[in-house]
Amino acid sequence: MSVTEELQATIGDLVDGRRGILAADESIGTIAKRFDAVGVDPTEEHRRFYRSMLLSTEGLGDYICGVILFEETLGQSDGAGRPLPELAAGAKIVPGIKVDKGKGPLAGAPGDMITYGLDGLAERLDSYREQGARFAKWREVYPVSPHNPTRLGLTANAEMLARYAAVCQSRGVVPIVEPEVLMDGDHDIQRCAEVNEQVWHEVFHALHRHGVVLELMILKPSMVTPGKECVSRPAGGAPPEQVAEHTVRSLRRTVPAAVPSINFLSGGQGPEEASANLNALNQLWHAPWQLSFSYGRALQEPALKAWAGREENSAAAQEALLKRARLNHLAMRGEYSGGLERE
């Protein structure tokens, strides 16, 4: 099979109109914070057990087509000794891998950030493929302020995403391109829309310069929402119809129709809020792209609370995860309602 055929096969498995992606790629530091919130000691064994529990949820593959793993998880096994990527693949869930190495300040652009990890990426991708990974993810973040992102921040972050995506495709790995406009701040929804349009415009120019085949990648963007500290932001978040209207308008202005799927990140939204917003997006307008999800906390939070580090709670945790996956599957079809939360 040629590299292009491998990429096309992976896209075919990830873009089927009914399933989304589970983001389970939290770094050791991030998952330690999540565990701490429910009183779980963040040991390597707890991390292994927790992610093994998620991936062994019966029926998860009915609603989840892919899982983004942290590098540590890619080499771990379940209690029976089965590698976790193999466990996922057995449930018809494509294993993927987070490949960036974290972020830091962007020199020359106060307030902006840049992500690290391009050095040795091609060789790491070859190793990850041998372990079962078929797609990758790289995240760039964009703080919003009256002065950010700067012109340098826009161009430097787009360049990193494009270079990463080009390397992935050269290695037969589908790239998920994640430009996250952060919810932190007091900006309103119009300012968020303006920044997202600037970001997406710059990203796709860079992808074009680097020869990235748009049909063989996935975009993982933020939804257009007001900042968390915005004075006009309602307590439960902006109305889903407002989020959908602004998000689709900005996407239509900047994202080529050749992109097969847009898998939104939840980016600080709660589980119900993320489902309601995705549902509104799919009800608003028949898009040229699949509008799906690649949620982390918005899928995992109820399961993590139900588990709380106790093995006897595994079944309840899996049930909570499966429910959220099913509700987001319904949101992809525009069939989600708040009443389903109480079933």
Domains of the chain: 3-342 (3.20.20.70)
What pLDDT does residue 93 have? 98
Q: What is the DSSP letter of 214?
A: G
For residue 132, CA distances in Å to 66, 127, 233 come to: 12, 9, 43
Phi, psi at residue 13, to the nearest 5°?
A: -80, -25
Give average pLDDT by consecutive 10-residue segment, the chain, 343 residues: 95 97 95 94 95 97 98 94 96 98 96 97 98 98 96 98 98 98 88 97 98 98 88 75 95 97 94 96 89 97 95 97 98 88 71
> Can you give the pTM of this predicted structure?
0.96
Q: What is the DSSP letter of 61?
A: G
- The CA distance from 232 to 315, in Å, is 40
Cα angle, residue 144 at apex, residues 291 and 271 outer, rounded to 5°? 40
Could you give the 3-state DSSP secondary structure of residue 297?
A: helix
What pLDDT does residue 343 have? 65
- Residue 226 near residue 181, CB atoms below 8 Å: no
Q: What is the DSSP letter of 147?
A: S
- Residue 326 near residue 302, CB atoms below 8 Å: no
Q: Residue for token digits 């891998």?
A: 97
Cβ atoms < 10 Å from Cβ of 170: 12
Beta-carbon contacts of 105 under 8 Å, excluding residues fewer than 6 positions away, are: 112, 113, 114
What pLDDT does residue 238 have? 84
Q: Residue for token digits 């939204």?
A: 269
What pLDDT does residue 236 have? 63
The DSSP line for 198-210 is HHHHHHHHHHHHT
List the catalytic residues. Answer: 178, 220
**Paired strand residues for 64:** 20
